[in-house]
Amino acid sequence: MSELLKKTSPERLKYWLVLGFVSGFLVVSVSPFVHAGVSRDEKREIKSTHKTYQDSSTNDLAEAATLQEVLRYGALQSASLKAAFYRWKSSFHDIKQTTSWDDPQFSFKTFIDEVETRVGPQKEMFSISQKLPFPGKLYTQGNAATAISRQKYAEYQKTKFELFYEIKDVYFEYWFLYKNILVLDKNIELMKNFEKVAQSKYKSSLTSNYDLLKAQVELGKLENELLTLNDYRAPITARLNAVLNRDIDIPIGWPEMIDHQILDLNLNEVFEIFRRNNPDLQGAAQRIEETKKKVLLARLDYLPDVTVAFDYINVDEGPLNVIDNGDDAAALMFKVNVPLWYGKQKSQLSEAKSLETSAEAMREQLEVDLAAKIKMIYFNIKNSERQIKLYRDALVPKAEQSLKASETGYSAGNIDFLNLIDSERTLLEFQLAYYKSIRNYEQHLSQLEMIVGEPLRGNQNGK
């Protein structure tokens, strides 16, 4: 090998210059087509999210946590969301692989029986070759891989919004349970006061023991219902813990009490957000983009790839006294594959076109189906909004006034105990219906956020 390096004939230099020129020309000709990839923002998000997973604290969720804290904890602990993220991250690395050349091939051959030539015997031969895809192929493959990566990103976003919806759905159910318990507690105290009034009137012979027995029966029914609600706390806590991917027996404090606010939603604006951000639509659009690139790749398969090879033969000095005695030999070779059997390429092209048509049809149907869901959810939100305002502004205040009037009338002997109980039942029913309407509103709003792919309220907590 040292003898090979010592040879510096002008002929060998000529071959190296030719090889360098041709290789440089080919590299320049294909380099503009290998820049496909994700944006800087996508790279930044991958890096920051990966770092968040790596640096996430092992501390558990505080027992008295807000909804925002619960959502952040769930995003870090969810195994399904983490898996979706790393599928996206993995697909990002596929882009570089699809836009890279195949490894060059190097071979070495030594002659067992030296081949005698006019300028001397051939001792060894070195060869290196590189396959160069036809210009445009790597670029198109990179764009197809980028479209696949963005599909994985859309799947990651969809998983995240689905997780947030599941958390909110259980959270507001848990909140509604808490409100039920508070309302029943107040009504039990109210019924105990009614019982005392009935007992006092019975002792004073102002009424029969029927009122006292009726108050005790109503009180027993409320206390039994309260026990049922308190027992229901364990399974709903287990359900919330399961969504958060932690032990189901960990206690969770009651939701924080804050003001509830109704959003001013415009259906047209909701649809604009939906068409812009919905992960399913984004994934479907990238699927169409992928199939378009595969159609182009199928067309490019009709064009040949080029393989450039350089052979170098080490020649020893021979017995003949000639000018170029002992000069090494070099050869530059070009190979192209000949796409002669067009049936294969034609079949690939037909397959790619069919997949493109299928992807476009699926996206069209998907948008229609999701738009119909949005309209139904929007109706449910508006219906819950009407009920909230009805109970908050009219029915609950009137029921409270009616109960106070009935309580005063009963104490004065102007109405019987059944009317008093009926007023108490009506107030209890309206109070529970009011909080149920809020729960329904928040759950439907969370479902709408999952579909449109964007939070519709800056403050994600709810009363």
Least confident of 87-91, 255-259, 305-309, 416-420: 255-259
pLDDT at 23: 54
pLDDT at 25: 43
Nearest-CA neighbor of 351 among 305, 405, 294, 404?
294
Asked if pLDDT for residue 53 goes beyond 60, the answer is yes
Taking residues 420-445, report their average pLDDT. Answer: 94
- CA–CA separation, 454 and 435 (whole Å): 25
What share of the chain in percent tops pLDDT 70? Answer: 84
- CA–CA separation, 342 and 117 (whole Å): 44
- CA–CA separation, 316 and 116 (whole Å): 10
Q: What predicted TM-score, i.e. pTM, was given to this entire model?
A: 0.82
Check if the beta carbon of residue 4 is closer than 8 Å to that of residue 314. yes
Give pLDDT tens digits for 165-193.
Answer: 999 999 999 999 999 999 999 999 988 88
**CATH code given to domain 34-100+133-303+339-452:** 1.20.1600.10
pLDDT at 318: 64
Pull the structure tokens for residue 281. Answer: 């639509």
Determine the number of helices (DSSP H) and then strands (DSSP E) in the chain. Answer: 12, 4
pLDDT at 123: 77
DSSP H helices, 56-111, are: 67-77, 79-98
User: Residue 326: pLDDT band by 50, 70, 90 thresholds?
Assistant: low
Asked if pLDDT for residue 29 goes beyond 60, the answer is no
Give pLDDT tens digits for 374-406.
Answer: 999 999 999 999 999 999 999 999 999 999 999
- CA–CA separation, 145 and 138 (whole Å): 10
Least confident of 99-113, 117-131, 222-236, 289-303: 117-131
Asked if pLDDT for residue 205 goes beyond 70, the answer is no
Taking residues 99-121, report their average pLDDT. Answer: 78
Pull the structure tokens for residue 339. Answer: 């796409």
Least confident of 142-151, 276-285, 370-379, 411-420: 411-420
Higher-confidence position of 5 and 381:
381
CA distance between the termini of the chain: 82
DSSP letter, residue 186:
H
